[in-house]
Amino acid sequence: MMYHPENQFRCTIIRGKSQSDMEDLLPLYANMVHKFCPCEESVFKAACCKVLAKALFQTASFDTLSDSNQKTVLNHLTEIAGTLLGLYYPIEENSTTYIYESESCKYLVEKSDYPTFFKNLCLNFQFPNGAKWVQFIEEDLKNNIRIKPFCYVVALLYYAQSQEKKVLLTKQEIGYYVLNNLDVLQGLVGYDVVYNRIMEDRRNKVKREKLSGSRDWQHIKEQFNLLELANIVETDSTFIWLNKNENKAIAIFLKHLNQIDFDAYKYDLSTKVGRNTYFSDWKAYYGTFNSELIDMQTSFNDEIEIASKGEQKAESGATKSSVDLGDEGEALVFRLEQERVKAYRERLVNKVLLLGKTKGLGYDISSIEADENPTKPEFARYIEVKSTKRITEPSFDSIWSDSLNITAKEWVAAEQYGEYYNIYRVYFTKTKTFIVRIQNPYKKSVDGEIEVYPTIYQMNFDASVIEKRYAE
C-alpha cells in the first residue's frame, strides 16, 4: 500500500490531567475503587463522589457543591478513573449493574508501582476503543482504524535508535506521520516505511503542517504523557526517544505491536444491546493486567543499551521485583538513620539496626530518637518503611493524597509503640528521592487525621460450626 503522510485523521483519547496531577491523584482513585468494589452502581457512585468531594473541594457533601464542581467530581470518577485509567468496570446481573475493581487497579494498590501500571495501560490501549461517544467509534470503524498506537510509536523509536546514527525523531514528526495519519492508524504501514519517509522528507526539506492547539495537538500530547508516565520514553521540548533503562519493557511493547486483543468490529453498534455489550466488554478488557509485567519494577538508574537493529535484548531488562523495591527503600532509610544518629553521637550508631528480614516484629528498622527528641534521645524509634515509584515529584499540595498497605502485625506495633512508631514513606522518582514521615499513625487514626480500614479478615473456627455433609 502507498503511504500518504498528508492523509490526516484525528483519533482522540480522553483528556487527563497534568503528569504530576495524574500521579498525585492516582492512589486516591485506586484505593477509593479498591475500598468500595464490588458494589451496586448507585452505591459506588455515591460513595466515590463523597470521597472526591472531600479531596477536591474539602467538603464531605457532594450534593452541596455547585453544578460546575459536581461536574468536576463526576469527571474525575467516570472519565479519568473509569474510562482513561480503567480502574473499574460494570457488569449487569439480574437487571442490576454492579461495579468491579479491575486487575490493573488491584496491581496498583498491591505493588505501588505507578510506571508499571501505566505500562499496562499503554499496552492495552488501542484504536478503536470504548472510550468515546458512539458516533466517534462508528467513524473509527467506518475508516477501518486498527492499531495499538503506543506499541507502534515504541517500534518506530526503537527502529530509529537502532540505526547507525541513532536518529532522534521529533514529537511533531510522530504526531503528523503516525498518530494523526489515517494510513498508519489503519495498521497498513510498517514503521520502517514511516521512518524512511521522515528521513526522505528531512533530506528534501519538505515542510509539513505543524499540529497545534487543543483540537489538533492535545490528543497527541496526551499519548506522549502516558508513555512518559510509563517510563518508556523521554522527551524535551522538541524530541522524543526511548528510555534506555527500560529494555525489557520495550521488548514487550514490540511483541504486542500487531496483537489487537479487543475486536471492536464484531459488535453491532446499531442496537442498544450491541452498544451496551461493546462498552461493557471494552471496560472489562481494558482493566486486565498483562502477565508479562507481573513482578517487573521500574528502574530509573540502571544503564541498559538499546539493542542494535534486528536484536531485542529482553533478557537484560532493568527491572526490580516488589521485594527489591522494599529492600531498596529500607537500605536508604537505614543509611540515613545511621548518619542522623552518628551526627548526634557517634557511639550510639550501633543502636540503628536493619531488621526487615526478621519476621513478626511489625517494623523494619530499630533506631533511637537522638537529636529529634532532646529530652529522650536514647529512647527507641521503630520505623516501618514503605516505598513506591513514580515518574514525577509528589506535590504534597492540597489535592495530593496517598495510601499504603500495612499488615496486622505492623498495626499492632503502631498501637503498642505509639509516639515512637513511625512510617517512613519513600518516593523514588526520576529526578530525586523523597522521604516523608508519619509519626504515631495509630493516634492519627484515632483522631481522624488518617483513615485506616481492614481489607483482609482472618476467620478462625473449629468443628462445632461446620456442616460435615458437604464433605461426604
> CATH number, domain at 188?
1.10.10.2090
User: Do 213 and 331 belong to one domain?
Assistant: no
Which one of 293, 308, 336 terminates a domain? 293
276 shares its domain with 326:
no
pLDDT of residue 220: 96
**pLDDT single digits (tens) 135-171:** 999 999 999 999 999 999 999 999 999 988 889 999 9
Q: Write down the pLDDT at residue 317.
A: 35
Phi and psi, residue 448, nearest 5°: 80, 15
pLDDT exceeds 80 at position 280 = yes
Same domain flag for 215 and 362? no
Please give the C-alpha separations between residue 157 and each of 127, 154, 175, 254, 309, in angstroms, as whole numbers. Answer: 20, 5, 13, 11, 12
| Shared domain check, 337 and 273 | no
pLDDT digits (tens, 9 = 90+) for 391-432: 999 999 888 889 888 999 999 999 999 999 999 999 999 889
- The answer on 158 and 51 residing in a single domain is yes
Task: Provide the grid cell at 209.
Answer: 503542517
> Both 257 and 349 in a single domain?
no
**Phi-psi category of residue 145: left, alpha or beta, with phi > 0 → left and psi -120 to 50 → alpha:** beta
Same domain, 175 and 250: yes
Whether residues 135 and 258 fall in one domain: yes
Give percent above pLDDT 70 in the chain: 93
Q: How many CB atoms lie within 10 A of CB 328?
A: 18
Helix, strand, coil shares, percent, the chain, to 5? 50, 15, 40
141 plus 85 within the same structural domain: yes
CB 187 within 8 A of CB 196: no
| 58 phi-psi bin (left φ>0, alpha ψ -120 to 50, beta other) | left
pLDDT tens figures, 60-101 = 899 999 999 999 999 999 999 999 999 999 999 889 999 999
User: Please, which pLDDT band fits residue 299 given cuts at 50, 70 and 90?
Assistant: low
Tell me which residue has cell 502477565: 291
Q: What is the pLDDT of residue 186?
A: 97
Residues 143 and 206 placed together within one structural domain of the fold: yes
Q: Is residue 25 part of a domain?
A: yes
Same domain (yes/no): 58, 204: yes
Query: Under the phi-then-psi rule, with left for phi > 0, alpha for psi from -120 to 50, and beta for the rest, what region is 65?
Result: beta
Q: What range defines the domain where residue 353 resides?
A: 322-446
* Sheet of 380-389, strand order: 353-354, 365-368, 380-389, 421-428, 433-439
Q: Are residues 286 and 400 in the same domain?
A: no
Residue 316 belongs to some domain of the structure: no
Express each pLDDT in 367-396 by its tens digit. Answer: 999 999 999 999 999 999 999 999 999 999
pLDDT digits (tens, 9 = 90+) for 26-57: 999 999 999 999 999 999 999 999 999 999 99
Q: Per the domain annotation, does 155 fall within a domain?
A: yes
Domain count, the chain: 2
Strand order in the sheet with 239-242: 169-170, 239-242, 233-235
